[in-house]
Chain A
Amino acid sequence: GIQVEQSPPDLILQEGANSTLRCNFSDSVNNLQWFHQNPWGQLINLFYIPSGTKQNGRLSATTVATERYSLLYISSSQTTDSGVYFCAGSNYQLIWGAGTKLIIKP
């Protein structure tokens, strides 16, 4: 089955910094999503992005399907951005990566 690898596993930044999170897939997928799990455990869908680039406020994502990777950019980080960021991809059932744990310090 598809393997999903996320990097880095942990990231600690000061408020206001920018960050790039990466997601690599072992095989091509026709569905790729990014999720944020906040410190209280709630999961929020950020982007559905099987290819191309999307932006939503300070967050943007780019997927290069031919090279089997996706990037999530967070600009001007805020403490509320803390949590775990997951990518998940599939051709049928979503396969999730282990996540990047992001801590934003004030």
Chain B
Amino acid sequence: NAGVTQTPKFRILKIGQSMTLQCAQDMNHNYMYWYRQDPGMGLKLIYYSVGAGITDKGEVPNGYNVSRSTTEDFPLRLELAAPSQTSVYFCASSRDRVSNQPQHFGDGTRLSIL
């Protein structure tokens, strides 16, 4: 049982490049989330999904896009990478909305934009 799996673990991008951060969970959870964590800070919600085909913005969605074609996968796309997007990105899942169930986290993707 792998839980939440994120790939890649590390990545360096040039300004203006694009990339997709992958996230997959094998717990059949309906809810999935993308967070970013800047140095010395707590997590901030970028996007979340309540099920396949349904996504919604979080606190800091600008510069990102998501899709949810299956229950298992929730990729995060950066279209035009900017230095301000240098951060550690965490994907999480929960059976129900955060208010009811604890969240399970992936190990994170450390992204640097140069």
Known: A41-B107, A45-B103. A93 touches B45 (CB 8 A): yes
Chain A proximity mask over B15-45: 1 for CB below 8 Å, otherwise 0: 0000000000000000000000000111111
In contact, A43 and B42 (Cβ under 8 angstroms): no
Q: Considering only CB atoms, which chain A residue lies closest to B45 in the complex? A: A93
In contact, A48 and B107 (Cβ under 8 angstroms): no
Q: Per a CB cutoff under 8 Å, which of B59, B90, B101 touches A93?
A: B59
Tell me the residues in window 81-101 of chain A with beta carbons closer than 8 Å to chain B beta carbons: 86, 88, 90-99
In contact, B48 and A93 (Cβ under 8 angstroms): yes
Q: Considering only CB atoms, which chain B residue lies closest to A44 in the complex? A: B105
* Nearest Cβ on chain A to B1's Cβ, whole angstroms: 16
Q: Considering only CB atoms, which chain B residue lies closest to A97 in the complex? A: B42
In contact, A96 and B58 (Cβ under 8 angstroms): no
A30-B99, A88-B43, A90-B98 are known; give 17 further A-B pairs, CB within 8 A. A4-B42, A31-B98, A31-B100, A33-B102, A41-B107, A43-B90, A48-B101, A48-B102, A86-B43, A93-B48, A93-B58, A93-B59, A93-B98, A94-B98, A94-B103, A98-B41, A99-B40
| A residues adjacent to B (C-beta < 8 A) | 4, 30-31, 33, 41-45, 48, 86, 88, 90-99
